[in-house]
Amino acid sequence: MVDPAGSAAPQRNGAATGALGDATDAVLSVEQVPPSDDGRQVVRVGGEIDMLTAPRLRDALTPVVAIPGSDVVLDLDAVTFLGSNGLGVLVELSQQAETVGTKFRLVCANRTVSRPLTLTGLDQVLDFYESYTDLPPAGS
């Protein structure tokens, strides 16, 4: 790709692979791991969740939270930035999950994620835990 000034601009890898449609590039990674022994769907997210990557996160996770009655855990420990667009996507995904009876839980001990959630009060709105050991039993 060439920008208007004629210099070569780096292209982003927008390719999706894997069962989830894993979105991976230099700033965002989304990876669905095999279901846990208790049937939970665990999705690991890493990198930056900002106005450019938040839509990709939404696109990757919408089919996962749309499965009625499932139990989805979003592991955000590898997130290095969480902007307002990312917070909005987490709220949207939580609402989508609720409408179909899916449990949607966030796990993160990383201050980069917990601080914006706490400052906005979303830690009280979203189902948020600091570790896997804090999670309630699957399905509850």
80 has pLDDT over 60 = yes
Q: What residues contact residue 99 under an 8 Å CB cut-off, 6+ apart?
A: none
Task: List residues bridging with 31 in a β-sheet.
Answer: 44
Transcribe 53-120 into DSSP letters.
Answer: THHHHHHHHHHHHTSTT-EEEEEEEEEEEE-HHHHHHHHHHHHHHHHHT-EEEEE---HHHHHHHHHH
Confidence at 6, pLDDT banded by 50, 70, 90: very low
Amino acid 82: pLDDT: 96
CB 76 within 8 A of CB 106: yes
pTM here is 0.80
Distance from C-alpha of 95 to C-alpha of 24, rounded to nearest angstrom: 25
Amino acid 26: pLDDT: 54
Burial of 68 (0-12, 13-18, 19+ CB in 10 A): exposed
Confidence at 125, pLDDT banded by 50, 70, 90: very high
Helix, strand or coil for residue 33?
strand
